[in-house]
Structure 1
Amino acid sequence: MLYSSSRYNSSSTGSTANPLKVDFLQYLCNRFYDIETFVDVSYKLKKWNIKRKNRVCIEASQHFGDEVAAAVFALNMKGRISIINWKNNLDFQEYEDIRLEAVDVSGSIINYNGLDNLVKLKALKYLDLSRCPHIDDWCLSRLHAFAETLEELSLVGCPQITERGLACLHHLQNLKRLDVSDLPSVSKKGLIRILLEEMLPLCDIVGMDYGDNMDLQFEDAMNRGEMEEHLEAANNLKTR
Structure 2
Amino acid sequence: MYRFVRYLVQQNSVLNWPETASIEPRITICLMHNNTATWWNPEREQFLGCDLAIAHFIIARGGAVRFCDIDHWFECEEYGKVPNTVPNIYHDGYKLEAIDASNTNIMYCSFDNIEPVPTLKYLNLSNCKYIDDWCLDRLSSYRQSVEFLDLSGCPRITERGLATLHKMSKLKRLRIENMPKVCDTPLIGLMLEESLPGCIVDGVDYDTNLNEGVDQQPEAAESFENYEKKLLSAIQSEMTGRYFPTSNIRF
Bin the TM-score by the shorter chain.
Answer: 0.5 to 0.7
Q: How does 1:201-216 map to 2 (within 5 A)?
A: 201-211=197-207, 214=210
Q: How does 1:43-122 map to 2 (within 5 A)?
A: 48=31, 51-52=34-35, 53-85=37-69, 95-122=91-118
Out of 172, 180, 186, which is 2:182 matched to?
Answer: 186
Q: Do the aligned partners of residues 95 and 211 (structure 1) sit closer, same or farther apart at CA in structure 2, a change above 3 Å counting?
A: same
Counterpart contact for 1:189–1:212, Cα < 8 Å = no
Counterpart contact for 1:64–1:96, Cα < 8 Å = no
For the residue of structure 2 that corresponds to 1:165, the secondary structure is: helix
% same residue: 37
**Matched residue type, 1:71:** A
Q: Do the aligned partners of residues 97 and 195 (structure 1) sit closer, same or farther apart at CA in structure 2, a change above 3 Å counting?
A: same
Q: Does 1:159 align with 2:162?
A: no
Out of 124, 130, 134, which is 1:134 matched to?
Answer: 130
Q: Do the aligned partners of residues 107 and 51 (structure 1) sit closer, same or farther apart at CA in structure 2, a change above 3 Å counting?
A: farther
Counterpart-to-counterpart distance in 1, 2:69 and 2:32: 33
For the residue of structure 1 that corresponds to 2:165, the secondary structure is: helix
**Matched residue type, 1:68:** L
Rg comparison, structure with higher value? 1
Q: CA deviation at 1:45?
A: 7.8
Aligned to 1:37: none
For the residue of structure 2 that corresponds to 1:72, the secondary structure is: helix
- Please provide the CA RMSD for this pair: 3.0
Give ranges in structure 2 of 5+ residues lacking alignment.
Answer: 1-22, 71-83, 213-251
**Matched residue type, 2:178:** D
- Which of 47-56 and 158-167 deviates more? 47-56
- Which of 90-99 and 132-141 deviates more? 90-99
Q: How many residues align?
A: 177
Counterpart contact for 2:50–2:115, Cα < 8 Å = no
The TM-score with structure 2 as length reference comes to 0.62
For the residue of structure 2 that corresponds to 1:183, the secondary structure is: coil
The TM-score with structure 1 as length reference comes to 0.64
For the residue of structure 2 that corresponds to 1:141, the secondary structure is: helix
Q: CA deviation at 1:146?
A: 1.1
**Matched residue type, 2:61:** M
For the residue of structure 2 that corresponds to 1:62, the secondary structure is: helix
Give ranges in structure 1 of 5+ residues lacking alignment.
Answer: 1-39, 217-240
Counterpart-to-counterpart distance in 2, 1:150 and 1:97: 20
Counterpart-to-counterpart distance in 1, 2:208 and 2:60: 37
Q: CA deviation at 1:176?
A: 1.1
